[in-house]
Structure 1
Amino acid sequence: MNLTETDTSLFQRLRFVLVETSHPGNIGAAARAIKTMGFGRLILVNPRFENALSHPDAIAFASGALDILESAQIVKTTEEAVSGCKFVAAVSARLREFSPPILSPREVTERIAYKEEGEVAFIFGSERYGLPNQVVMNCQALINIPANPDYSSLNLAQAIQLLAYESRMAVNVKSDGASQVGFFGQAASNEQIDAMYSHLERALVAIDFLDPENPKKLMPRLKRLFSRAGLEAEEVNILRGISKKILDVSQK
């Protein structure tokens, strides 16, 4: 099967988001990694040096993938980078107590390949510090790459190459006739889910279930719970309807 960049599938919908990258060579290597697998969308969040996309090391390591660098975006926040996405996954070797569901690269890519609508994004942290906890908590999944427990550190471009490869293979398997049984509604966007959490939090405060002065870990636990569900837009609307009813009753 011959897959090209013009396919209207995951190749068009998947964004590779790099947060506060420290080394220009890694940006060029990332561009090369995603182009070799047929992808092309690269977004940088606050790279830690000027001229990130035109730096000589970035150009050298891109090794012919200059079109990816030229079309890449630079934004100030992670929220901007994933705006409009229906599914966002963080990539990290460090596990968190209150992370979203932890999935392997293959599990994640099979999931997004079968959902044929909506933008999706993989977020990669800086080489030095990884990803902030808040960014991870706001994702629908945490991708953990199985590796040698005694030496599990991957170079940034290596991690990107692995995710790009698994994404391509997931599309390949799907296109070869594999099918997934069951009904799937429209996936909720990141913005819809964030708004639902805010609405739910206000409702829980209104009925004294959540103490805003001492919230403990209630909202992170609820985010973790709903992340495992893979929320659809109609399900988010139902939860917001429940929250609205709670607020209406509590105000009477």
Structure 2
Amino acid sequence: MNLTETDTSLFQRLRFVLVETSHPGNIGAAARAIKTMGFGRLILVNPRFDDALSHPEAIAFASGALDVLESAQIVGSVEQAVSGCNFVAAVSARLREFSPPILDPRAFASRIAAPEEGEVALLFGSERYGLPNQIVMNCQVLINIPANPVYSSLNLAQAVQLLAYESRMAADVKQGGNSHIGFHGQLASTEQVEGMYAHLEQALVAIDFLDPDNPKKLMPRIKRLLSRTELETEEVNILRGISKKILDRLKK
């Protein structure tokens, strides 16, 4: 079965987010990369150039993908770019001590192929600095592309192309009849999960389990722990309910 960008599947749910991109040519090349794989949702977070979408280099490198370039969004924060997403993944060659679970591109694509996974965002950092630790830590997974350890540097558009390809292949398999076995609830959105973490942190402070003046790395560890579970909306509600009960009991 041939899939196109008009299918109501992963092709509609997956957004490619470029964070603080420095070179307009890479933006155009990224637009071309995702269109060749049937995708079309491109979001830019604070690109270096104000005319990033109309810059001559961006147009030249888009080479036939001007529709993707013209429909791309420019936003002022990563939070805006991933608003409404149920699953957010950071792409980075650099591993972090407190990163979320690490997946390779194929494992990531397989994981998000099912429609019940909801809205998905792929974050790519700037060409020079990559993604800040705080952004990576707030993602559900970190995608690390296996490459030559001696020279693992990939051009931004090349990384986008690779992830778009693997996502297309996973979508092809899903359309070919693979079924999802067992109950799977609706994944919680990024906003729901972040709200839950804030609520949980309040409760932990209230019972003196977390010292706000010396928090160490408790919350990053909890985030890493829970990010492995693919939190569903009902599960987030349960954890918020527990936090609320703790806070209510302490008020009595």
TM-score (norm 1): 0.98
Q: Is the 8 A contact 1:34 1:40 kept in 2?
A: yes
2:137: which partner in 1? Answer: 137
Q: Distance in 2 between matches of 1:115 and 1:96?
A: 30
Shift, 1:180, TM fit: 3.0
Aligned length, in residue pairs: 252
1:91: which partner in 2? Answer: 91
Unmatched 5+ residue regions in structure 2?
none
Q: Look up the equivalent residue of 1:110 and give its one-letter code.
A: S
Q: Look up the equivalent residue of 1:36 and give its one-letter code.
A: T
Deviations, residues 168-216 of structure 1 (Å, cap 9, x unaligned): 0000011112223221001000000000000000000000000000000
Unmatched 5+ residue regions in structure 1?
none
1:218: which partner in 2? Answer: 218
1:231: which partner in 2? Answer: 231
Greater mean alpha carbon deviation, residues 112-121 or residues 85-94? 112-121
Q: Look up the equivalent residue of 1:133 and give its one-letter code.
A: N
Q: Look up the equivalent residue of 1:186 and give its one-letter code.
A: Q
1:9: which partner in 2? Answer: 9
Shift, 1:116, TM fit: 3.0
TM-score (norm 2): 0.98
Q: How does 1:58-137 map to 2 (within 5 A)?
A: 58-116=58-116, 118-137=118-137
1:24: which partner in 2? Answer: 24
1:205: which partner in 2? Answer: 205
Q: Is the 8 A contact 2:188 2:233 kept in 1?
A: yes
Q: Look up the equivalent residue of 2:195 and give its one-letter code.
A: A
Shift, 1:49, TM fit: 1.4
Q: Percentage identity across aligned positions?
A: 82
Q: Look up the equivalent residue of 2:248 and give its one-letter code.
A: D
2:244: which partner in 1? Answer: 244
Alpha-carbon RMSD: 0.8
Shift, 1:250, TM fit: 1.6
Greater mean alpha carbon deviation, residues 200-209 or residues 171-180? 171-180
Q: Look up the equivalent residue of 1:139 and give its one-letter code.
A: C
SS of equivalent to 1:188: coil
Deviations, residues 21-47 of structure 1 (Å, cap 9, x unaligned): 000100000000000000000000000
